[in-house]
């Protein structure tokens, strides 16, 4: 089982009402939630570890996970409120107002983290849950306790606006990256983490020196590059589709990569340490395929396995 550890929240999306004014429609979301949904729909055995409220929005999140075949046994429930993200659209550009104080997701503590059975073979971390304390420290504690015997993938998806204490965030992220086997980041993430005036290859080398067997660098419409620990590079192009909505594209890409590695029997620490360029290319290529389906339709709506069947 791949256990996705991180935020599940409600995006409040503006929508016209009969009166002419915009109302807000609740959509289930969150970067880690989106990846769990995508994995479940691709037929990979998947679970979610997060804090979920007993309120109506928490019930919506739990139902959405179950509907996409995501195991909810590791969810930690409480009567704290659900995190809400109100979206404002101006000329197609989205800005967010978050209501997250004392929320079920954010207030997780290290002692809340459950013991994991041997059926959990991989851990996935990412998103704003790595920045918002105290929950961020709980996920760090889980990783340091459980990550040595399981594959670890991290997508920091850095949002500077969520970082209240940059030195603490950098120190936490550094510790997590050093435990990772697969590290995926955008070029913006890489430049934020390695801010020195170095070349791209020098920045990549610094990240690989921290320990991941595979570093994936995404560049939006320009595709993605995988860097193996021996210096091998593989490149995949973004698939050309009519873009409707890019929300959740990166989250779906991550799911596609893990799904293909799982299918090939490579989602283990020994296998990743000897990953071939051919297999890395297959994983990144499948990630690009499933992400292309997501961006071709509205909302973070990852494809089901049958929608991407029939090739690599």
State pTM to two decimals.
Answer: 0.94
Residues 23-53 have pLDDT tens digits of 899 999 999 999 999 999 999 999 999 999 9
Picking from 118, 114, 115, the residue whose alpha carbon sits closest to that of residue 51 is: 114
Q: Whole-angstrom Cα distance, residue 161 to residue 306?
A: 38
Residues 90-108 have pLDDT tens digits of 665 667 788 999 999 999 9
Q: Whole-angstrom Cα distance, residue 86 to residue 222?
A: 30
CA 132, 138, 250, 302 dihedral sign is negative
pLDDT tens-place values along the chain, 312 residues long: 999 999 999 999 888 887 778 889 999 999 999 999 999 999 999 999 999 999 999 999 999 999 999 999 999 999 999 999 998 766 656 677 889 999 999 999 999 999 999 999 999 999 999 999 999 999 999 999 999 999 999 999 998 888 999 999 999 999 999 999 999 999 999 999 999 999 999 999 999 999 999 999 998 778 899 999 998 999 998 777 777 666 778 899 999 999 999 999 999 999 999 999 999 999 999 999 999 887 778 777 898 998 887 544
101: DSSP letter: T
Residue 219, pLDDT score = 85
Residue 161, pLDDT score = 85
| DSSP states along 148-217 | GGSEEEEE----GGG-S-HHHHHHHHHHHHTT-SEEEEEHHHHHHHS-SS--HHHHHHHHHTTS-SEEEE
- For domain 2-15+25-305, the question of CATH label 3.40.1190.20 is answered with yes
């Amino acid at each position: 089982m791949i256990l996705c550890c991180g935020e599940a929240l409600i995006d409040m999306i503006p929508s016209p009402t009969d009166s002419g004014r915009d109302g807000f429609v609740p959509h289930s979301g969150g970067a880690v939630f989106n990846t769990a949904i995508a994995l479940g729909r691709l037929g990979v055995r998947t679970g979610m570890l997060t804090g979920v409220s007993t309120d109506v929005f928490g019930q919506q999140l739990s139902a959405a996970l179950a509907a996409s075949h995501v195991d909810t046994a590791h969810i930690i429930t409480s009567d704290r409120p659900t995190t809400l993200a109100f979206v404002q659209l101006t000329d197609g550009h989205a800005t967010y107002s978050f209501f997250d104080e004392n929320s079920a997701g954010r207030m997780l503590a290290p002692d809340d983290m459950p013991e994991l059975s041997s059926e959990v073979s991989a851990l996935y971390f990412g998103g704003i849950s790595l920045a918002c304390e105290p929950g961020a420290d709980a996920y760090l504690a889980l990783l340091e306790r459980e990550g040595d015997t399981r594959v670890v993938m991290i997508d920091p998806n850095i949002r500077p606006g969520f970082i209240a204490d940059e030195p603490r965030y950098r120190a936490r992220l550094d510790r997590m990256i050093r435990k990772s086997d697969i590290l995926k980041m955008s070029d913006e993430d890489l430049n934020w983490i390695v801010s020195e005036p170095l070349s791209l290859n020098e920045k990549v080398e610094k990240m690989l020196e921290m320990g991941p067997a595979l570093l994936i660098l995404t560049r939006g419409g320009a595709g993605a590059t995988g860097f193996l620990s021996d210096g091998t590079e593989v490149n995949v192009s973004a698939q050309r589709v009519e873009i409707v909505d890019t929300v959740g594209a990166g989250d779906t890409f991550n799911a596609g990569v893990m799904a293909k590695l799982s299918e090939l029997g490579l989602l283990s620490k020994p296998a990743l340490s000897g990953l071939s360029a051919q297999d890395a290319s297959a994983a990144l290529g499948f990630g690009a395929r499933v992400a292309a389906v997501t961006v071709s339709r509205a909302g973070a709506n990852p494809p089901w396995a049958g929608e991407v069947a029939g090739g690599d």
